[in-house]
């Protein structure tokens, strides 16, 4: 087990190193720079500004400087948000993205699994189809349609929650969490449904039934555990994606999370900020993948003993 964790962590670090290198050089290929402006300023002053951010150095030297900073846990200064370092901005945005993401994952997991179970147990019934329609809608209708629609219905018409921003305390979070969880509810319910249908046909479930265990225990203790494996495989990377911020959700609902920093940074060629968020996202993705593998190993004897 320890060897497994060490090996996966080692692989993860290698992947991260490749990610940092690729992103660093790919960013420099994009036209323009952090201080290119509509209005041309004198070359000397432009040079002074670029020198202040070491942008005058050869790219390879800048890369060295960046790695040296990373080794000291310094992600560098932001060029778009001049008052802040990259660490400051991540520290400021991540709690919002994490809060919304965390609750969206919780909602999506419970509702998704519930829907999936209903679908599987009442297969081909009206309930199954109803749940299926909801799920397909969640996948098919994009966030930039559902988001504004939800704002009109729940904020403007019903006046239950604020339109956007964070002024309303927890009520401000309701819409972003719900809208963010919708597509995931859809995926999880579909995954649960098909996995459950398959698992119910497995020999060990038939054995459990034959032993005379009641239907509830059979489903919860035997079938559901098995059916959860694909859901967990999906949840790992999905959680990483959700909690690192949804750009659309954050823009539509004016949530100050890191997703918006990422877009702003990329459009404004804020190299250190793009690097910092890429690194964070990559790191989380790798960590969640490792965690998923461990969890599956623990839940599935075939993985454990295989």
Partner 1 sequence: MKKIVTNILRGLTLAAVLGTTALADDVLDRGIGSEWSSLDPQVVFDAAAGWIILDGYEGLVTFDPTGKVIPGAAERWEASADGKTYTFHLRDGLKWSNGDPLVAQQFVDGVLRTLNPATASEKGYYFYSVIRVKGAEALAKGETTDPATLGFTAPDDRTVVVEMLTPAPHILAIMGSFQVAPLHPSVTDASVFTDPSKFVGNGAYMISEIVPQSHVLMTANPNYWDAAKVAIQTVKYHVTEDVATELKRYQAGEIDITYDVPLNQIEPLKAEIPAELMIFPSTEVTYYSFNLTKEPFQNIDLRRALSLAIDRVVLEEKIMKGGAIPSFSYAGGFDPDYLGPKIAEAGMTQAEREALAQELYAKAGYGPDNPLKVSVVSTVNEDSTRRAQGIALMWKKVLGVEAVNEAQERKAWLDTFYAGTWDVFADNLTGDFAGAETFLAYMRPSAEPGYNWVKPEYDAAMDLAAEKTDSTSRNAALALAEKILLDDYIFAPLAIQPSRHLVKPNVKGFAASAASYHNSQFISFE
* 73 binding partner 1? (CB under 8 A): yes
In angstroms, rounded to a whole number, what is the distance separating the alpha carbons of residues 108 and 247? 18
Residue 187: half-sphere exposure toward Cβ, Cα within 13 Å? 16
* 149 binding partner 1? (CB under 8 A): no
* 158 binding partner 1? (CB under 8 A): no
* 162 binding partner 1? (CB under 8 A): yes
Residue 108 to residues 23, 172, 220, 260, Cα–Cα distance (Å): 32, 19, 19, 23
Applying CB under 8 A, which part among 19-27, 39-47, 185-193, 292-300 lies near partner 1?
A: 39-47
Q: What is the DSSP letter of 256?
A: -
* 45 binding partner 1? (CB under 8 A): yes
Residue 302, judged by CB atoms within 10 A of its CB (0-12, 13-18, 19+), counts as: exposed
Q: What are phi and psi of 166, to 5 degrees?
A: -130, 15
* 156 binding partner 1? (CB under 8 A): yes
Tokens of 223: 């079938």
Applying CB under 8 A, which part among 29-37, 181-189, 194-202, 205-213 lies near partner 1?
A: 29-37
In angstroms, rounded to a whole number, what is the distance separating the alpha carbons of residues 63 and 156? 49
* 145 binding partner 1? (CB under 8 A): no
* 23 binding partner 1? (CB under 8 A): no
Residue 12: half-sphere exposure toward Cβ, Cα within 13 Å? 19
Which one among 9, 21, 48, 125 touches partner 1, defined by CB under 8 A?
48
In angstroms, rounded to a whole number, what is the distance separating the alpha carbons of residues 270 and 261? 10
* 31 binding partner 1? (CB under 8 A): yes
Applying CB under 8 A, which part among 19-27, 91-99, 127-135, 223-231 lies near partner 1?
A: 91-99
Largest CA distance in the chain: 85
* 160 binding partner 1? (CB under 8 A): no
Where does this chain bind partner 1 (CB under 8 A)? 30-33, 35-42, 44-45, 48-49, 51-53, 73, 80-84, 87-96, 98-99, 102-103, 148, 151-152, 155-156, 159, 162-170, 172-173, 250-254, 256-257, 260-261, 264, 267-269
């Amino acid at each position: 087990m320890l060897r497994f964790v060490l090996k996966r962590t080692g692989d993860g670090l290698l992947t991260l190193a490749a990610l940092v290198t690729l992103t660093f050089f790919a960013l420099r290929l994009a036209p323009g720079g952090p201080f290119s402006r509509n209005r041309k300023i004198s070359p000397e002053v432009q040079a002074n500004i670029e020198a202040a951010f070491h942008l005058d150095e050869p790219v390879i030297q800048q890369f060295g400087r960046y790695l040296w900073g990373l080794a000291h846990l310094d992600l560098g200064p932001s060029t778009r948000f001049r008052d802040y370092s990259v660490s400051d901005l991540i520290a400021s945005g991540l709690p919002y993205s994490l809060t919304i993401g965390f609750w969206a994952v919780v909602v999506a997991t419970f509702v998704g699994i519930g829907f999936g179970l209903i679908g599987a147990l009442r297969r081909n019934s009206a309930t199954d189809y109803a749940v299926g329609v909801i799920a397909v809608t969640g996948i098919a209708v994009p966030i930039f349609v559902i988001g504004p629609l939800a704002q009109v219905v729940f904020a403007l018409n019903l006046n239950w929650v604020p339109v956007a921003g964070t002024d309303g305390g927890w009520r401000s979070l309701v819409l972003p969490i719900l809208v963010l969880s919708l597509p995931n509810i859809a995926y999880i319910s579909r995954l649960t449904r098909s996995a459950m249908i398959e698992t119910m046909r497995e020999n060990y479930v038939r054995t459990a039934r034959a032993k005379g265990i009641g239907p509830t225990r059979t489903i919860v203790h035997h079938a559901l555990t098995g059916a959860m494996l694909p859901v967990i495989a999906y949840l790992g990377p999905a959680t990483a994606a959700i909690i690192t911020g949804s750009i659309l959700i954050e823009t539509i609902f004016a949530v100050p999370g890191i997703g918006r920093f990422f877009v702003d940074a990329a459009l404004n060629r804020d190299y250190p900020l793009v690097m910092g968020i890429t690194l964070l996202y990559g790191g989380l993705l790798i960590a969640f993948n490792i965690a998923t593998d461990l969890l599956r190993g623990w839940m599935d004897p075939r993985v454990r003993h295989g």
